[in-house]
Amino acid sequence: MSTRAEGSRLRAKHVLHAAVTAYAGHEAAQQLLQAQLARLDEPLRIALAGKVKAGKSTLLNALIGEEVAPTDAGECTTVTTWYRHGPAPSSRLVRRDGEVVDLPLVRRHGRLQHTLLGLAPGDVARLEVEWPSPMLEQVTLVDTPGIGSVTTEVSRHTTQLLSAEAAERPVDAVIHLFKSRHADDLAMLRELRGGGVVDAAHAVATTVGVLSRADEVGGGRLDSLISAKDIAARHAQDPQMRALCSDVLPVAGLLAQGGRTLRQDDFDLIAALARMERADREAVLVSVERFSSADAVGGTRETREALVARLGLFGVRLGTVLVRQGIARPGELADELTRRSGLGMVERVIATQFAPRAAALSSLGAVTVLERLLRREPVPQAASLLSECEALRAAENAPEEMRLLAEVRQGAVPGLDARATTAALRLLGDQGVQPWQRLGLRTGASSDDVARAATESLGRWRRLAADPMSREPTRRAARVLARTCEELLDGLPVLTDDGSPAAT
* Residue 494 forms part of a structural domain: no
CA 32 to CA 26: how far, in whole Å? Answer: 10
Q: What is the CATH number of the domain that holds 74?
A: 3.40.50
Position 53 confidence tier, pLDDT thresholds 50, 70, 90: confident
pLDDT value of residue 171: 87
Q: Do 220 and 135 share a structural domain?
A: yes
Q: Do 51 and 144 share a structural domain?
A: yes
306, 335, 364 - which closes a domain: 335
* Residue 177 forms part of a structural domain: yes
Q: Do 371 and 429 share a structural domain?
A: no
324, 352, 376 - which closes a domain: 376
Q: Do 218 and 295 share a structural domain?
A: no
Region 69-84: what's the mean pLDDT?
A: 79
Q: Return phi, psi of residue 491, to 5°.
A: 90, -10
CA 91 to CA 6: how far, in whole Å? Answer: 31
Q: Do 160 and 50 share a structural domain?
A: yes
Pairing of strands 44-50, 173-178: parallel
Region 209-216: what's the mean pLDDT?
A: 88
Q: Do 447 and 357 share a structural domain?
A: no
Residue 172 DSSP code: S
Q: Do 423 and 291 share a structural domain?
A: no
Q: Do 285 and 422 share a structural domain?
A: no
277, 306, 335 - which closes a domain: 335
pLDDT beyond 80 at 297: yes
Which structural domain, as residue segments, surrounds residue 313? Answer: 257-335
* Residue 502 forms part of a structural domain: no
Report pLDDT digits (tens) over 258-290. Answer: 999 999 999 999 999 999 999 999 999 999 999
Position 113 confidence tier, pLDDT thresholds 50, 70, 90: confident
Q: Do 233 and 103 share a structural domain?
A: yes
pLDDT value of residue 219: 67
**192: Cβ–Cβ under 8 A, 6 or more apart, which residues?**
162, 163, 164, 174, 176, 203, 207, 244
Position 321 confidence tier, pLDDT thresholds 50, 70, 90: very high
Region 175-200: what's the mean pLDDT?
A: 71
Region 168-179: what's the mean pLDDT?
A: 84
Domain count of the fold of the chain: 3
Residue 251 DSSP code: -
pLDDT beyond 80 at 460: yes
pLDDT beyond 50 at 504: no
Q: Do 263 and 172 share a structural domain?
A: no
- 438-475 burial, b at 16+ Cβ within 10 Å, e below that, comes to bbebeeebeeeebbbbbbebbeebbebbeeeebeeebb
Q: Do 310 and 165 share a structural domain?
A: no
Report pLDDT digits (tens) over 377-428. Answer: 999 999 999 999 999 988 888 889 998 998 999 888 999 999 999 999 999 9
Per-chain mean pLDDT for the chain: 87
Do 284 and 293 form a contact (C-beta atoms < 8 A)? no
* Residue 370 forms part of a structural domain: yes
* Residue 388 forms part of a structural domain: no
129 or 54, greater pLDDT: 129
Q: Which helix (H) or strand (E) holds 348?
A: helix 343-349
Q: Fill in the amino acid letter for 429.
A: G
* Residue 264 forms part of a structural domain: yes
Position 28 confidence tier, pLDDT thresholds 50, 70, 90: very high
168 or 354, greater pLDDT: 354
Report pLDDT digits (tens) over 118-172. Answer: 888 888 888 999 999 999 999 999 998 887 655 566 666 676 677 655 556 688 8
* Residue 455 forms part of a structural domain: yes
pLDDT value of residue 197: 47
Q: How many residues does the structure list for the chain? A: 504
Count of C-beta atoms within a 10 Å radius of residue 322:
17
Region 26-43: what's the mean pLDDT?
A: 93
43 or 169, greater pLDDT: 43
Position 497 confidence tier, pLDDT thresholds 50, 70, 90: very low
* Residue 497 forms part of a structural domain: no
Region 197-205: what's the mean pLDDT?
A: 69
Q: Do 362 and 215 share a structural domain?
A: yes
